[in-house]
Amino acid sequence: MCGICGTVGISDKTLLEKMCHAIRHRGPDDSGYFIDSGIGLGHRRLSIIDLKSGRQPMQNEDGSIWIVFNGEIYNFMSLKDVLEKQGHRFRTASDTEVIVHAYEEFGEDCPRHLIGMFAFAIWDSRQKTLFMARDRLGKKPLYYTIRGGKLLFASEIKSILQYGDVKREVDVTALRQYLTFGYVPAPRTMFSGISKLPAGCTLTYVHGKSKIQKYWDLNMEAAPAQPQPEEHYVEQVRQLFTEAVRCRLMSEVPLGAFLSGGLDSSSVVAVMSGLKDEPVKTITASFEEGGSYDETQYARLVAEHFGTEHYEVVLGSKDIGLLPEVIWHFDEPVLDASAFPEYLIAEKAKKYVTVVLVGEGSDELFLGYAQHRLLPMMHSYQKVFPGFIKNGLVPAAAGALAGIIPSRKARRYLDFISNMGKALGDQREMYRTLIARFTEPEKQRLVTASPEGGEDPLMPFFAGDDLLDNMQSFEIKVNLPENYLMNVDKMTMAHAIEARAPFLDHRLVECAAAMPAGIKLRGSDEKYVLKKMMTGILPGEILRRKKHPFTVPIVDWFEKDLKELTEHLLSKERVEEQGYFNYDYVRKVLSKNNPNYNQPLALVYFELWHRIFIESDDVYKPTLKNLI
């Protein structure tokens, strides 16, 4: 694991050193550079495999091919055997060198042969070609910009911004997308002219021209095979998941797991414990507020059950001061409150481990979110009673309940019911209504900056008839890589921790996609096949728990400690000076009467990001004090 960067059309070691320095947190163990006519490659190393000889940039035997690589290839030993039989000779025991020879053997098809998480760039001096690739599920980020015959790329945007000719401007279409999703879907970023390479894609750059190709996709609408007995699917998942965990235990440095006490992370810890001789190191977060925010009792239960070496980190409102650091590491505003505990857990974990396994991906694979139950049910009722549900029952229910449950939380539900009623019958708009931080009418009142158009990231995913397939496809291909996995990568790499997600082994993902929906979601019982697999292994209390989303008391923190700061950050003078938002509507968003707590946070996150990345003379780690 590490950080990578590079340039084409520029040969400037000073620039390359600055680009590497900006991402030094990703790889504190070593740095390396390759510079030739019109090409520069930079690398910051976090040593995990082949500690002695795995330095980068790395070359082939004759120096015609050079690579910088971020990630881990779990099948590199078996792939190395295949390549050696084809006559390739290796000088190191690293997975990096295997990619070099895989490129020599398979050309631009080489990513198809890799199992793991990766973002890499290869310079082929014979073809004068830069070839970049990002792993299938987007576990590792890769950004780039092309302007004036020059290309710059890096693991993080702050590295690209070291080049003075890169303008720091807001992409207004990306801003509108952020206000809907809480993040910016690929290929856009919040920076105009800087792009993300989408998950499962390669980019080839030769003679000033670029070509992006998709080398892997997940077909959610593939015709299912003949239905099998339940036990068949349970055993299939068991074998693939166990293998996914096993290969992710490969490490020459200490390894552990993040444990929340939920089904997903507990399953990871359970399988790790069965495969390792020594106790698993586990780390979890708790909150000073306690109550519904505190799940440590379940994490402790799992830790005791498997005899782990368990550590806890306690968070409180004092930690809100870290918000600028969190945004700085993200490079973009990402409206994910779980970033705070992830950031602090990683900081704590660094004292004990360098690699952690995490439970991300299970909800997407095995239909674990509330919308997987709610939306198909509503859609079915609407098809049976097309006019009554949309025009009669929903408005009547919203109106009747409005006077009965006036609390802020209740008003949020009522707004949702009303908006959902308007969207019924349109799969895409139903889903948008469910996930949107700001609805389309709200964005029209809030955003003053042009343009209003731009592509709709949901459009390609809602062309089919199966609502579950459509939702699952979007969540795996867009929401997962650019939201949840971005969180995992940026918050762990902030402390030079490598996070590995066994649920997102692409072989397990493909298996889950091909399963009948009924084996994943049985009535109201989400992740049914996973629960069946873990029966008799996990404590019954964990298996019987209703899904509990990981919640953070960030709203309480803001209202308790940062209300005055929020008023300052989004003052009338400030909002009107920037020109992105209508101040009258900003006041409505900040009002106590606003039932949607995500909306004030979205504006505060954007404002802090703007001060850090657009207005600041440099992009080095800020503090709250120096931003106000």
Q: Which residues are catalytic?
A: 2
> In sequence order, what DSSP letters do the residues of 140-208 get, joined into one string?
S--EEEEETTEEEEESSHHHHTTSTTS---B-HHHHHHHHHHSS--TT--SBTT-EEPPTTEEEEEETT
Distance CA(613)–CA(186), nearest Å, equals 19
**Token digits of residue 80:** 């190395």
Three-state secondary structure of 253-280 = CCEEEECCCCHHHHHHHHHHHHHCCCCC
Place of tokens 């095995």: 366
Distance CA(376)–CA(365), nearest Å, equals 17
**Token digits of residue 365:** 């694979």
Distance CA(628)–CA(611), nearest Å, equals 9
**Token digits of residue 534:** 């873990």
Residue 202 CB partners (closer than 8 Å, separation 6+): 108, 111, 131, 132, 133, 134, 212, 213, 215
Residue 507 CB partners (closer than 8 Å, separation 6+): 115, 240, 243, 244
Distance CA(246)–CA(240), nearest Å, equals 10
Distance CA(44)–CA(300), nearest Å, equals 36
